[in-house]
Homo-oligomer: A and B are copies of this chain.
């Protein structure tokens, strides 16, 4: 394959098939659909629940749980550091994690444009498998539809997810109050700039890759350690950190003060944002979360996170204030300040 981001899993060669592209017949519900399921999709993702192949997966849940959904339409489908498959797993795992839940079960629904190369689907499926193993979740039910050429764009993926709420979790934005601290789990804007650089054909000094990753190990460790002191999680995907903080500020009528010089960012990302004229606060992230925690625990949470592998750049970036309710204000290191609004318009379409 000419696409450098398509890293075929050579350890798992694709079985010999009668077809090398997806056709409308693969969405018919008939013989071809069943061949695609038996020889490819279910074979890669197999587990006892999925193998039953009923219309619905049978699960056992007891107590409070979270339920979430996201569709993924990212373009290009293969990008530096990942593809639409692992992104779709990370995205839904992370939405569950942000709810204070342990991600457990995932549904997987494909809308495929006629003509998709089977090798691309194979690679996507293996990335999905790897991502589910990494996050400790199972794909338990699914669906495959096919649309005509020109009526889709290679592949769209919907993942919905279910997970039990951690017994110690008290994630509830209404509990946020004056003095609470805002923590970023790592450098921002990496995903968006990695995708944009690929689209625009930009070359950076080093190879910038998406930060797409599961966040559940870190959020559950925080809940385990700090229980009710953790009040709010959000992964700032579309719309970036600015939009996520504006959402919580306006829904809870709180003010948020941000210290600009504390916001972590990779040098290549900073350079990319300057080159592209983008404000990193609005650029999408896929492997970062915002935590709002009790004021007394801010520095402890920051230090705890920094000691988790992959979160060394976690940073306490701001505070909840009584002044300017519903507004987010960014303070620069040299005394200036500006209001950070919610994203207006669209900056980077199809970033996830």
Contact = CB atoms under 8 A, between A and B. Distances in A.
Interface of A: 23-25, 27-34, 53-73, 75, 95-96, 98-99, 101, 105, 107-111, 140-143, 145-148, 150-153, 156, 158, 160-163, 165, 171, 173, 234-235, 237-240, 243, 247, 251, 282, 284, 341-347, 349-350
A109 B95 CA distance: 14
Complex copy number for this chain: 2
A315 B230 CA distance: 58
B68 A30 contact: no
A95 B238 contact: no
B59 A140 contact: no
Contacts of A243: 29-30
8 contacts: A30-B238, A32-B345, A53-B251, A56-B101, A61-B62, A67-B162, A69-B160, A147-B156
A326 B235 CA distance: 49
B152 A67 contact: no
A109 to B, nearest CB: 4
A79 B171 CA distance: 43
Given A60-B63, A152-B151, A68 B55 contact: yes
Contact of A160 (B72, B107, B234, B251): B107
Chain B CB within 10 A, most for which of A33, A105, A163: A33
A235 B24 CA distance: 21
A49 B349 CA distance: 29
B342 A31 contact: yes
Contact of A62 (B58, B62, B148, B150): B62
Given A25-B344, A28-B347, A71-B109, 15 more contacts: A27-B346, A29-B237, A32-B345, A34-B247, A53-B251, A55-B98, A56-B161, A60-B64, A62-B62, A71-B111, A71-B158, A145-B350, A146-B349, A148-B350, A158-B158
Contact of A31 (B53, B69, B99, B343): B343
Given A30-B344, A156-B111, A60 B56 contact: no
Contact of A64 (B58, B66, B95): B58
Q: Which 8 pairs, one residue from A and one from B, show the smallest C-beta to C-beta distance? A: A30-B343, A29-B238, A29-B239, A56-B66, A56-B99, A69-B107, A160-B160, A56-B68
A50 to B, nearest CB: 11
